[in-house]
Chain A
Amino acid sequence: MKRFLTALFFFVLLIAAWHWAYARRIWSPVLVPSPESVVRYIWEIALDGSLWSSTVVTMKRLVAGYFIGLLAGVPLGFLTARVQALRDTVGVLALGLQGLPSVCWVPLALLWFGQTESAMLFVVVMGTLWSVILATETGVRNVNPIYIRAARTMGSSGLHTWVNVMLPASLPFIVSGMKQGWAFAWRSLMAAEIYVTIITGFGLGHLLHYGRELNAMEQVVAIMLVIVLIGLLADKILFSPFEKFLHRRWGTEK
């Protein structure tokens, strides 16, 4: 409760300062809109439905690409950890491509797929995949070998050991890889949506883009706010349960 009040106080102060700066006309209202106008804009797009429809479009792209990246990345990470030849090939590729800012995939995706959903999906997958591969590989290689020996004496082998020992034992690493992959995917999708118009669906990035085109600063700020909120929400929904489990079981709680 005390933590919540501290946070509340901080944000109220922040908005008050913003309002004060607006009221004193320190900067042009075109550049710094009032908090009220931003709230009013969010209210309007919430009422006319465009807030929800564009959020849905963006989230569909993100979630689909993210899970494809996850479903491919975890097994690939397992394989690169266990097979030397794959580590020297796919592992090195992953390391290299993870270092590539994922927005750099946008031009390539556009040339390959045109202005389509496939291009968006591709960008998100590329953002997720490499981080997840690398984190999973690190996790598997850090599994204490005594767990595997103990599991073998208890009659576990092959696939059973992979699923019931290697996977949970490397979970702390995999979850941090999932978080990084999510962050990369989210950033690259926003970049793609801002720069490319996809006729099959207008996402949040497009609203941001049109805000700039129309010089509507309250729209730009409002959409940025929505994007921030979605990021926080995703963290709570997607990763908090995993992290709570890890803290409880591994005892890493501060």
Chain B
Amino acid sequence: MTLAHGLSAPTSAHLAIEKVSKWFETSRGPVHALDNVSLQVAEGEFVCLVGPSGCGKSTLLNMIAGLEMPGQGSVVAAGQPVKEPSRARMMMFQEAALFPWLDAFGNVMFSLKRKPGLTDAERRDVAEYYLKLVGLEKFMHANIHELSGGMKQRVALARALAPNPRVLLMDEPFAALDAMTREQLYGDLQRIWKQRNVTIVFVTHNVREAVSLGDRVVLFSPHPGRIREEFTVTLPRPRDINSVEVAGYATRITRALKDHMEHGAGI
């Protein structure tokens, strides 16, 4: 089976974020983006980071990806300090960030071509496998501008999964999609997560989305970004975002968020 190599697994994907702080220089002086944030993510876990704008959740995700460095503290992935981006930790963005000069297949191949140890035929097989996995076998050679928003994010998901990362980092990937498309993608993402046994860190400001996807929901508060509270979600899967149980969790988390915001404003 030519897929064997491309799909072969894995080293441990435990993520350890230790006392991370980060400041940004802006024209109006330094901004304190993250303050003393610590977080552990177990292998195969689905963790959602929730919080209002400016709480540093995307910054933290970029640091796990290796696109930004912490000001203080450390980010460790699979026992190794994160110093640069790696195919072991792939990222998905709010905009699909697909390359318009390549077709859907070419975009998935882009991430595979940088992966050593595969023949071109194997790369093609792997790319086809993942495009099928996200349900786009009929659109392999479609141009990017011909795809709908949901299909673009599916291509982006296939592209991120193709090098067989142990960690998938998702920065509000469904925020720009309509509700129907989003619900389909929630189902697909959970199915693929189980099937590929990948660790997911998912950033969102939508509390219901976080509850219906995550094993754990981590609540951030802004100015500076801090972790306020963590909620373990024990609901059985697959979860329906419209269910009463999800709504119950979401209400509790939203209330906690408001409490922290009011406290925060007093400081």
Contacts and interface: CB of A to CB of B under 8 A. Distances in A.
Contacts of B42: none
B264 interface: no
Contacts of A32: none
B28 interface: no
Interface in A219-254: 248-251
B97 A147 contact: yes
Given A249-B143, A251-B143, A251-B145, A154 B111 contact: yes
Contact of B67 (A144, A147, A149, A251): A149
Contacts, number: 65
Contacts of A194: none
A147 B111 contact: no
Contacts of A171: 101
B183 interface: no
Contact of B114 (A144, A156, A249): A156
A150 B114 contact: no
Contacts of A201: none
B142 to A, nearest CB: 11
Q: How large is the interface on A (under 10, 10 to 19, 20 to 34, 35 or more residues)?
A: 20 to 34
A114 B177 CA distance: 66
A236 to B, nearest CB: 22
B122 interface: no
B253 to A, nearest CB: 29
A160 B85 CA distance: 15
A248 B114 contact: no
Interface in B81-114: 85-87, 89-91, 93, 95, 97, 99-103, 110-111, 114
Nearest to B86: A155
A197 B254 CA distance: 83
Nearest to B62: A149
A152 interface: yes
Interface string B228-266: 000000000000000000000000000000000000000
B65 interface: yes
5 contacts: A149-B93, A151-B110, A155-B85, A155-B114, A156-B114
Per CB-CB distance, the 4 closest pairs between chain A and chain B, nearest first, are: A251-B145, A155-B114, A168-B101, A154-B111
